[in-house]
Each structure stands twice: as structure tokens, then as C-alpha cells.
Amino acid sequence: MSKVEVGETYELKEGGSATVIEYEHSDRVLIRHNDKHGCEQRVQAGHLKRGNVKNPYHPSVYGVGYLGVGGYKISEDRKHLLVYKKWQSMIERCYSKIYQAKKPSYIGCTVDEEWHNFQNFAEWFYSDPRHTLGYELDKDVLVAGNKVYSSKTCALVPSDINMFAKGYVKNNGLPVGVSYRGSSYSARIYKNGKSEWIGAYSELSEAIKAYASARDHYARQLAEQWKNKVSYKVYKILSSWDDLSYSAPDLTPFISTMQILHEGE
């Protein structure tokens, strides 16, 4: 096999190309990937000629995420680490059409470009002292109605808080916690792992407000239950939660939709 030459460019099987910028011998060839990152690697000439070189910045995870260059590992003993599982699942929720077909509430969600790089996500993850507690990655509690996963909008929280903070609107147009039965609207809240009855109401607006009031109360319960076990920012938001205020602008489309659906009943 003839040796590679400085300045030669090779196409890679995973996509993209790399150019030789230094040659010592067949086992030490310095290349630069031809993308915006311009990552430099030492590779074997034979691998390069066959295109069997991996670019750490190639978006191999759902066409968006890449592993990057740094000290954070994705696995140990051939098993993916928790930090990688969290990152990969986040990317999947936002960019897998198969996943979103099953859970359409994630349609429109994105990951901030900083977190496309696994190394950046891992640095954020390990910087939180709660990363060893098996907490879940939450994007909703810090910013109501948030659709972007980022270091500024996410927090590690226990399952109870993550479930509480999920979106406010169902796919059928009704708010979470409200259902239509016969001639009345029922309100229920999911708390402490169980569905709890709130009441039945003749008007949708009444059911929504009852549910919002119950959520406000439950938020304060969660704040005290998990005080000193979540970040102060999460505690502060839960302890002053106000669904009654921020959900009010959304009542009109809910009410209008249901009036049309059940007109004449």
C-alpha cells in the first residue's frame, strides 16, 4: 500500500472528509477533518485510505448529537454510563420521528446547540452534586412551557417533580387533569404516584381553575418535601408556583374548542 501524502484528502465512510497535514509513518498520520470543527487526529494510513476513520464531531446520534473531544466517557466495561443515557435519550426525544410518533408532546422540542456536544452536556451533568441520585432531566420546571433543552433551562429533579412539571395541554385540546364526561368536566391531579379526584364542574373554565389551584398547592408540598434535595432555584420556583396566573391566557382556546365540539349537547 502506497503511503499517503501531505495535502491528500480522503472521503470517510461515515460522511465528510479529512486531509493529511503531517506524515511520520504509516501508524502516525495527522489529519484534519474538513468541517467547521476542524478536529485533528492521528490515525493509521490504512484506516484512512479505507475511510475507516471516525470524526468525533460527526452527528452520529439522530443526525444531531456528537461525542466531541474531552475527558468524559460514554461507557465503562462495555456498558453505557448514566450520563450518556440521559444525553442520548434527550436527543432522541427531540429528533426521532419514531419516538415523537409515540409521544407527540415532544414535537417541536429542540436541544440547544451547546448540548449537541456530549462533552458539554456531561460537564453540566457532573457539575450538579445530585447527579449520583438517579434524578431525571427536566426542562419544564424552571421555564413554563419550555421547548428547549439547555444548561439554562434544565435541572436534575426527582421523578415526582419531573412528572408534576410536564406540559399543561393534552393532545385532544384539553388541559392535563381535565376530562369531559357526559355533561360535566372532571378534574383530577396526579400526585404521590396516584390519581386524586378534585371534582366535577359544569364549565370547563371552572375545572381548569380547580385543577390549577390543586397544582399550586401540590407544588408547595413538593417544594417542602424536596427542600435541600434539589437546587435552590427549583425549590424557589416550586414554593411560589402560580398556575392560576400563568395558565389563564390559555383558557380561551380550550373553552372555544370544547364549545364547538359539544355544541347542542
* CA distances for 155 relative to 64, 233, 248, 257, angstroms: 22, 9, 26, 34
Spans of the chain below 70 pLDDT:
1-2, 167-173, 245-265
Do 146 and 154 form a contact (C-beta atoms < 8 A)? no
Q: Same domain for 155 and 235? A: yes
Domain count, the chain: 2
Q: Same domain for 112 and 203? A: yes
Q: Same domain for 119 and 204? A: yes
Is 69 contained in some domain? Answer: no
Q: Same domain for 166 and 242? A: yes
Q: Which amino acid is at 29?
A: V
Is 179 contained in some domain? Answer: yes
Give every strand in the sheet of 28-33, ordered side by side. 9-11, 17-25, 28-33, 40-43
Is 64 contained in some domain? Answer: no
Q: Same domain for 42 and 135? A: no
Question: Which pTM does this prediction carry?
Answer: 0.84
pLDDT in tens, 3-52: 899 999 999 999 999 999 999 999 999 999 999 999 999 999 999 999 99
pLDDT in tens, 126-151: 999 999 999 999 999 999 889 999 99
Q: Taken in order 27, 56, 156, 163, is the CA torsion positive or negative?
A: negative
Q: Same domain for 105 and 217? A: yes
Q: Same domain for 84 and 146? A: yes
Provide the grid cell at 203. 364549565
Q: Same domain for 103 and 233? A: yes
Residue owning grid cell 417542602: 224
Q: Same domain for 141 and 227? A: yes
Domain residue limits at 30: 9-50
Provide the grid cell at 84. 450518556
Q: Same domain for 32 and 80? A: no
Q: Same domain for 37 and 81? A: no
Is 207 contained in some domain? Answer: yes
